[in-house]
Structure 1
Amino acid sequence: MGKHVRILFFLFLLMAAGMMMPFFSSAQSDDATVHFVPVEQTVESGLEAFLDRSITEATEEGTDHIVLEIDTPGGAVDAAGNIAEIIQNAEVPITAYVTDDALSAGAYIALNADNIVMVPDAQMGSAAVVDGSGNTAGNKAQSVWVSEMETAAQSSDHDRDPEYAKAMADPEEPLTMNAEQALDVGYAEEIVTDREEVLAFLGLQGADQVESEVSLAEQLTRWVTNPMIIPILLTVGGVGLLMELFTPGFGLPGLVGLGSLGLFFFGHLFAGFAGMEAIILLILGLILIGVEIVFTGFGIFGLMGLGSIIGSIFMASFDTTQILFSVFIAMVVIVIATILLFKYFGKIGFMQKLVLQNASEAAEDGNETVTDDAFIGQIGRSLTPLRPSGLMVLAGEHYDVVTDGVYVEADRDVQVISVSGPRIVVRAAK
């Protein structure tokens, strides 16, 4: 009888242990944490910097799992490649949770994760390589990208059929799969409707959910490192500094120009692409431009300053081809702006107040144009800064003058040293 009692008691303990298992499992999940990281909008270098920071912080905090919530139309291939490397080197498992679209570079990012789960109406694929104009990339770039997609499909333990990844990268008719199709061919492990089902799939029910949020600085970085925004910033910066050469003092055009360049360098510095050497070269270039503005000579300081700024831009960039394209666009616009400023600036609207009228226009307003050598040696007063051109008053008349190359402040005595037709050359009086 004692033997049967012991057997029954042992079975009772087994049943009790089985009934308690869910509670132990729940307690274990309650202690677990899962970081949810958004992968949204265009894939670019700013997103790369954000994901690098988020995955590093999550790992340092001891998270049990990282979930990338993907909703992106794709973007830069080089940034996607760097993100894939970050995922592969992560010390914790990573799941791609496709909440809407994982297209192009987004599909590549998802394929590098340990698992892929999708909501019912999500889609993944359409990963053909295109250039900045929307045209299919060359055969060499396409071949490399197809190989990268196939490798990504086989990178996890799931050993996905690489033919589907190859079809996604087909430049003629790229494959796009919905959630059901992805599940059927092994490109998704589960179809889920919310985060709770994601956690259930991972066996981490009840785990603490930690949100990785994009900071204000990272949002700004993502914006200013966007390949579509960079040429705009460089163009506005260049034109702003150019207009400053046509206006007395330092005003709005210069502030706008410096602000645009500042945004470009801030974003690239924060993203980790620009080093201090690029910033130092930029500051040197701005100083040289300032010298050119204040002490106008033969343009050597301006050319050196321009070269320094362009050099700093290249040093701060993350993609030589992309920055070449951006600088080219900026230079074309700046050249056009220079021609227009020389031809029309000061002849229309409010711009008439920003620049000096030439000598013939001044004569039409009642001021004489000096052509007599008798004016040589006479002393007048500078009405505006002369750098080298500006306005002088002599014997109650206003004249457009130019210095012999040395900057003269406003309200200073100046002496006429030569006259050639309407051209009056002056220098500061001793």
Structure 2
Amino acid sequence: MRGIFIFLLAVAAGICGAVSAAPAGAAAGGLVMVLKVEGIISPATSDFITRGLKQAQDGGAALVVLELDTPGGLDTSMRSIIRQILSSPVPVATFVGPAGARAASAGTFILYASHVAAMAPASNLGAASPVSIGAGAPAQGKDADKDSGADTLTRKATNDAAAYIRSLAQLRGRNADFAEKAVQEAHSMSAQEALSAGAIDLIAANVPELLRKLDGRTIKLDSGAAVTLATEGARIERVEPDWRNRILSLLANPQIAVLLMMVGIYGLFFELTSPGAALPGVAGLICLLLGLYAFQMLPVNWAGVGLLAAGAAMMIAEAFLPSFGVLGVGGIVAFVLGGLLLIDTDIPGYGLTLPFLAGVALTGLGMILATGWLAARVRRQRVVSGEEQMPGLPGVVTAVGEGTIYAEVRGENWRVACAQPLRVGDRIRVLAIDGLLLTVERVSGPGGAAAGQYSKGDTHVL
């Protein structure tokens, strides 16, 4: 028994020694979360990555892989993602893949900010120059200050972006010269060129190969802690955007935002002109709020939003004011100009094209013409309410006595006057109305007797 006890103590001591000899910051292998980021970097993308990093931290993941394929995106969303990467307690590897993918513009910044930068064969990065509508072309290289035609705001944005990506390159020990040229001169590189230039860490065909190559690599987090990755054979959990991110992505489309605003304005208009319908007002209010929320997420010029709203209001007013087309034409012009000025960036996928704006404007014009046609049609019809509607209506005498005769006309009892003798049951027709007195003529008697066949003594009112 004593020998067995000594043996067990020796085994326990050996296990403790092995554990203590392991690297202090070793990351336990087991779980690697892969977040697929595809398309334009938008507020929905920022929300997806932020929630994914939080989920990885709560789930004890050893590594987060951003599988990236993007043409670029919004500067605000890009910087939000980078802040999350820099503060993440879980190492983040950005992998530009699969083959044929790209990390252009904002994607280059995200790649440079990640703890590990990797690319698939036949992929590329770069072309990170900031662009916006109305700005001049970015100044090129050292001649930026000499170019008198360069726009000041564009140069400020370009220099700010260049300094930002250079700081990220210095933080991660990557090629800062290429990073600055990608911003200043829109340079791009293939995966092999980026690896040779020191812009990325490695090339891998897919995520499993990436994890095999990262196994045993030590990552220094921004908190100062060092983490040794144990990723070979790790369990891969892929995270796709859920319904919430899909809705945010849909709302981040400027065309959808404009359509929501127009539907909202028209819905509220129909509710105000036809109180009690409820459905147009409720649907219009919801669409208008969603449209305003979408504008809040997008890089919009609020002068453009104002022109869109003013154009819609003028097109609606055209149907009710005798402006003879001035308001309608002015509304269409204001709407198109507002759409052209709406989006304050030239990022692909965020512009409003002339065919789209023309289509929406022509739809509004069609509604104006349809409203005018219906109004003209109603004007030609016979009046169906009020005093003007009374002459010609049929009725039946209901009471005769003491010099007063009452008749039922359209379900109502009226005091009537007639040049002919009347009695209960006679059928009459209204000739005129004077206050609450109807002037009528006798059409027929109760049994169909023609006018003028009553005997002496019949009661009538003159």
Query: Shorter-chain TM-score: which interval?
Result: 0.5 to 0.7
CA contact (8 A) 1:104 1:128 kept: yes
Deviation at 1:352, TM superposition (A): 5.5
Alignment of 1:21-420 (within 5 A): 31-99=29-97, 100-132=101-133, 136=137, 138-156=154-172, 159-170=173-184, 173-203=185-215, 204-227=231-254, 229-247=256-274, 249-250=276-277, 253-264=280-291, 317-318=296-297, 322=300, 324-325=302-303, 327-342=305-320, 348-349=369-370, 362=379, 364-367=380-383, 392=386, 394-396=388-390
CA contact (8 A) 2:27 2:62 kept: no
Render the CA deviation track for 1:37-83: whole Å, top value 9, x for unaligned: 11111111111111110100111100000000000111100110111
CA distance in 2, matches of 1:183, 1:148: 21
Shift in CA distance, 37/346, structure 1 to aligned 2, threshold 3 Å: closer
Shift in CA distance, 397/169, structure 1 to aligned 2, threshold 3 Å: farther
- Counterpart residue identity of residue 267, structure 2: G
Deviation at 1:395, TM superposition (A): 4.9
- Counterpart residue identity of residue 163, structure 1: D
What TM-score results when the alignment is normalised by the length of structure 1? 0.60
CA contact (8 A) 1:346 1:352 kept: no
- Counterpart residue identity of residue 156, structure 2: K
Shift in CA distance, 397/165, structure 1 to aligned 2, threshold 3 Å: farther
Q: Secondary structure at the match of 1:160?
A: coil
CA distance in 1, matches of 2:281, 2:186: 47
Deviation at 1:181, TM superposition (A): 0.8
CA distance in 2, matches of 1:261, 1:164: 45
Q: Which residue of 2 aligns with 1:7?
A: none
Render the CA deviation track for 1:117-146: whole Å, top value 9, x for unaligned: 111111101111111579656222222111
Higher-Rg structure is 2
CA distance in 1, matches of 2:176, 2:161: 13
Q: Secondary structure at the match of 2:65?
A: strand
CA contact (8 A) 1:235 1:333 kept: no
- Counterpart residue identity of residue 396, structure 1: M
- Counterpart residue identity of residue 150, structure 1: R
CA distance in 1, matches of 2:391, 2:186: 75
CA distance in 1, matches of 2:235, 2:287: 42
CA contact (8 A) 2:57 2:90 kept: yes
CA contact (8 A) 2:318 2:368 kept: no
CA contact (8 A) 1:30 1:205 kept: no
CA distance in 1, matches of 2:166, 2:88: 21
Shift in CA distance, 264/349, structure 1 to aligned 2, threshold 3 Å: closer
Q: Secondary structure at the match of 1:116?
A: strand
Q: Secondary structure at the match of 1:342?
A: coil
- Counterpart residue identity of residue 237, structure 1: G
CA contact (8 A) 2:258 2:291 kept: no
Deviation at 1:333, TM superposition (A): 3.0
Q: Secondary structure at the match of 1:327?
A: helix
CA distance in 2, matches of 1:223, 1:45: 11
Q: Which residue of 2 aligns with 1:289?
A: none
Deviation at 1:154, TM superposition (A): 1.9
CA distance in 2, matches of 1:93, 1:225: 29
Deviation at 1:251, TM superposition (A): 6.1
Higher mean Cα deviation, 136-145 or 93-102? 136-145
CA distance in 1, matches of 2:106, 2:262: 28
Deviation at 1:392, TM superposition (A): 3.7
- Counterpart residue identity of residue 272, structure 2: L
Deviation at 1:330, TM superposition (A): 2.9
Q: Secondary structure at the match of 1:138?
A: helix
CA contact (8 A) 1:345 1:351 kept: no
CA distance in 2, matches of 1:333, 1:395: 38
Shift in CA distance, 42/241, structure 1 to aligned 2, threshold 3 Å: same
What TM-score results when the alignment is normalised by the length of structure 2? 0.56
Deviation at 1:231, TM superposition (A): 3.6
Q: Which residue of 1 aligns with 2:3?
A: none
CA distance in 1, matches of 2:244, 2:158: 34
Deviation at 1:226, TM superposition (A): 3.8
Give the share of equivalent positions with the same residue, in percent: 24
- Counterpart residue identity of residue 48, structure 1: S
- Counterpart residue identity of residue 32, structure 2: V
CA distance in 1, matches of 2:277, 2:37: 42
CA contact (8 A) 1:43 1:80 kept: yes
Shift in CA distance, 260/85, structure 1 to aligned 2, threshold 3 Å: same
Deviation at 1:332, TM superposition (A): 3.6
Shift in CA distance, 253/318, structure 1 to aligned 2, threshold 3 Å: same
Shift in CA distance, 243/58, structure 1 to aligned 2, threshold 3 Å: same
- Counterpart residue identity of residue 141, structure 1: A
CA distance in 2, matches of 1:198, 1:60: 23
CA contact (8 A) 2:319 2:368 kept: no
Render the CA deviation track for 1:280-338: whole Å, top value 9, x for unaligned: xxxxxxxxxxxxxxxxxxxxxxxxxxxxxxxxx8xxx357x626255234324323423
How many equivalent pairs are there?
295
Q: Secondary structure at the match of 2:240?
A: coil
